[in-house]
A = this chain, B = another copy of it.
Amino acid sequence: MTDQGTRNLNWCAALLDGLIAGGVATLVLSPGSRSTPVILAAQRRAELAIEPILDERSAAFYALGLATAANRPVALLATSGSAPAHWLPAVIEAAQSGRPLVLISADRPPELRGWGANQTIEQAELFVPFARECHDPGPATADPAALKMMRALGARAAAVARGPHPGPVHINLPLREPLVPEETLAPPAAQHRPAPPPPPAAWHGGVPDPHRAEQARALLRGRGLICCGPDAARPGLAPRLWQLAEHLGVPVLCDPLSGLRFGPGGPARIARYDGFLRNPRAREQLRPDWVISLGRTPVSKTLLGWLADVPTLRIDPAARWSDPNHDVALLLDADPAACCDWLAERLDPAPRDWLAHWQQAERRIEAIAAEHLAESPWCEPQLLATLLAHIDPGAGLFSANSMPIRQLDTWAGARATPLRLFCNRGASGIDGQASTLAGLNAAGVPCHGLLGDLSLLHDLSGLQLLQRLDRPCVVLNNGGGRIFDYLPQQGVEGFERLWRTPPPLDIGAVARAHGLAHHAVTGAAEFAASLAREDAAGIIEVRIDAERSRAVHQTFWSRLHEDTRLFE
Known: A439-B69, A440-B65, A510-B513. A89 touches B431 (CB 8 A): yes
The 8 A CB mask of A53-73 against B (1 = contact, 0 = none) is 111011111111111111000
Sample (25) of A-B pairs whose CB atoms are under 8 Å apart: A57-B57, A57-B461, A61-B436, A61-B459, A64-B435, A64-B439, A65-B398, A65-B436, A65-B441, A66-B442, A68-B436, A69-B422, A69-B444, A69-B445, A86-B88, A93-B432, A96-B121, A97-B231, A97-B425, A97-B427, A163-B318, A164-B317, A165-B320, A461-B461, A512-B513
Known: A165-B318, A435-B58. A509 touches B513 (CB 8 A): yes
Are A462 and B92 in contact (CB-based, < 8 A)? Answer: no
Are A63 and B231 in contact (CB-based, < 8 A)? Answer: no
**Stretch from A122-130, A213-221, A539-547 at the B interface:** A122-130
Q: Does A33 contact B (CB under 8 A)?
A: no
Find the B residue at minimum CB distance from A126: B88
Q: Does A307 contact B (CB under 8 A)?
A: no
The 8 closest A-B pairs by CB, nearest first: A65-B439, A97-B426, A61-B432, A96-B426, A61-B435, A69-B443, A460-B460, A55-B461
Interface residues on A, range: 35 or more
Find the B residue at minimum CB distance from A515: B505
Q: How far is the CB of A536 from chain B (nearest CB, A)?
A: 20
Are A93 and B62 in contact (CB-based, < 8 A)? Answer: no
Q: Return chain B residues, CB-CB under 8 Å to A165.
A: 318-320
Q: Does A396 contact B (CB under 8 A)?
A: yes
Find the B residue at minimum CB distance from A81: B92
Q: Return chain B residues, CB-CB under 8 Å to A58.
A: 432, 434-435, 459, 461-462, 465
The residue in A62, A99, A129, A231 that gathers the most chain B C-beta atoms within 10 A of its C-beta is A62
Are A89 and B85 in contact (CB-based, < 8 A)? Answer: yes
Instruction: Count the copies.
Output: 2
Q: Return chain B residues, CB-CB under 8 Å to A425.
A: 97
Are A95 and B426 in contact (CB-based, < 8 A)? Answer: yes
Q: Does A366 contact B (CB under 8 A)?
A: no
Q: Known contacts A94-B426, A122-B129, A125-B129; can you find 18 more A-B pairs with CB under 8 A? A: A55-B461, A57-B57, A65-B440, A65-B442, A66-B439, A69-B422, A69-B445, A88-B88, A92-B427, A93-B432, A96-B426, A97-B231, A97-B425, A97-B427, A98-B231, A98-B426, A460-B460, A506-B513
Q: CA of A271 to CA of B428 in the docked complex: distance in angstroms?
A: 51
Q: CA of A442 to CA of B459 in the docked complex: distance in angstroms?
A: 24
Contact pick for A88, options B53, B85, B434, B439, CB 8 Å: B85
Q: Return chain B residues, CB-CB under 8 Å to A93.
A: 82, 424, 426-427, 429, 431-432
Q: Does A464 contact B (CB under 8 A)?
A: yes
Q: Return chain B residues, CB-CB under 8 Å to A436.
A: 61-62, 64-65, 68
Find the B residue at minimum CB distance from A424: B93
Are B318 and A440 in contact (CB-based, < 8 A)? Answer: no
Q: Return chain B residues, CB-CB under 8 Å to A458.
A: 461
Q: How far is the CB of A69 from chain B (nearest CB, A)?
A: 4
Q: Does A315 contact B (CB under 8 A)?
A: no
Q: CA of A94 to CA of B85 in the docked complex: distance in angstroms?
A: 13
Q: How far is the CB of A335 from chain B (nearest CB, A)?
A: 10
Q: Return chain B residues, CB-CB under 8 Å to A311.
A: none
Q: Does A230 contact B (CB under 8 A)?
A: yes
Known: A505-B514, A512-B513. A92 touches B65 (CB 8 A): no
Q: Return chain B residues, CB-CB under 8 Å to A230.
A: 97
Contact residues of A between 158 and 196, Cβ < 8 Å to B: 163-166
Find the B residue at minimum CB distance from A420: B69
Q: How far is the CB of A152 from chain B (nearest CB, A)?
A: 24
Contact pick for A97, options B57, B163, B424, CB 8 Å: B424
Are B427 and A96 in contact (CB-based, < 8 A)? Answer: yes
Q: Return chain B residues, CB-CB under 8 Å to A441.
A: 65, 69
Q: CA of A53 to CA of B53 in the docked complex: distance in angstroms?
A: 24
The 8 A CB mask of A295-337 against B (1 = contact, 0 = none) is 0100000000000000000000111100000000000000000
Q: How far is the CB of A387 from chain B (nearest CB, A)?
A: 19
Q: How far is the CB of A135 from chain B (nearest CB, A)?
A: 18
Are A443 and B66 in contact (CB-based, < 8 A)? Answer: yes
